[in-house]
Amino acid sequence: MTTATFAKGLEGIVAAETQMSFINGQKGILEYVGIAIGDLSSHSTFEETVFLLWNLRLPTKSELEAFTKSLRANYALPKGFNDRIRTLPKDAQPMHVLRTLVSELALYDTNPNANDLEAAREKSLRVLGMAPTMVAAFDRYRRGLDAVAPDTSLTFAENFMYMLNGEKPTETMARAFDICMILHADHGLNNSTFTARVIISTLSDIYSALTGAVGSLRGPLHGGANEGVMHMLNEIPSLDAVEPYIMGKIERKEKIMGFGHRVYKAKDPRATDLQKLAKQLAEDTGNSDLYAKSNAIEKIMERELAAKGIYPNVDFYSATTYHCIGLKLDLFTPMFALSRLAGWSGHILEQLDGNRLFRPTAQYVGPHDVPYTPMGDR
């Protein structure tokens, strides 16, 4: 009898093959279909990056134009959906709202269970296009404002910020948000991506798989960590208070939000790109003190814990970036989800192409041959 390998948290277990993203955690490398993440954040757009992940190659000009047109055609919510959003509690958390509404999109699909590759692409594009509209509509509703209809002349990043704020963003803000979307789009077999692949491996539907992924991402050990970073920065009253605050946490062996990663033992390459972006945005928006605190924390952590392979991850500087863009704290993780829908969908397509049901084993560690005790003897 073959003895199964046990790895708590599945660490080191290869459970899927992918051509979408490559990670070398020791060297701090992340590539999408072989292209360095820094090259994409410098030269690409989110729309082009989504095409790359779903098709495993860069598009031609005409292909990108067609893909962009198709995405924009999916910005608008189904008839009556805005009325549904206005029935939600105004104090609901946006990630719970997003999870619920992604699931409810299936109710407006005449063939929600179709999961052949063509249908999977169409439904993935549908959710990707509508998710920003849902988040923006809910945020405005809870602020007592009317929803802003999407503008199909705008890019994914521009349109979301327009729907959220009621005015078109500056070119700098739109590009900053676009870069954030690129950097968060995919990241190997992370927890939420694994969740999406596990669900679709049962040949369930796209909406179920993406709903499960949103639920996974919400956790503070995954996408929810960027909110924790901002809470931490807000707790530190000044630059002078950074050293005692961080050293106190280290001495108490408390987790420093935004540091450490299951995969990276070097600085997360996404954090490197976001740091540059956060610094520029902080200067442009009068938040230099926030960036200064972030930078001071990184220097202390490098001094104290870099030898143990603990470096900034993507969440650390994304918190400062999102704050400078003007997003509310509880919208930070939904922004991660809007981007990662691209990666989740790409992995769903990969999983469906030659699917095999995920069915790992569990190692039983309980007792055997326990006699049943009658009720009267207990």
At residue 61, φ and ψ (nearest 5 deg) are: -60, -45
Q: Residue 178 to residues 49, 116, 171, 344, 352: CA-CA distances in angstroms?
A: 10, 30, 10, 18, 29
Kindly state the tokens that stand for 235: 């707790």
The pair phi, psi for residue 183, each rounded to 5°, is -65, -30
| DSSP-assigned letter for residue 35 | E
- Catalytic residue flag (residue 347): no
C-alpha 172/C-alpha 213 separation (Å) is 30
Name the region of 12 (left: φ>0; alpha: ψ -120 to 50; beta: rest). left
- Catalytic pick among 178, 186, 315, 347: 315
Asked if 315 is an active-site residue, the reply is yes
Number of Cβ within 10 Å of residue 109's Cβ equals: 17
Residue 51 CA to residue 337 CA, distance in Å, equals: 17
CB 47 within 8 A of CB 155: yes
Active-site option among 261, 273, 323, 347: 261
| 323 given a catalytic annotation | no
From the list 151, 222, 284, 330, the catalytic residue is 222
Catalytic annotation, residues:
222, 261, 315
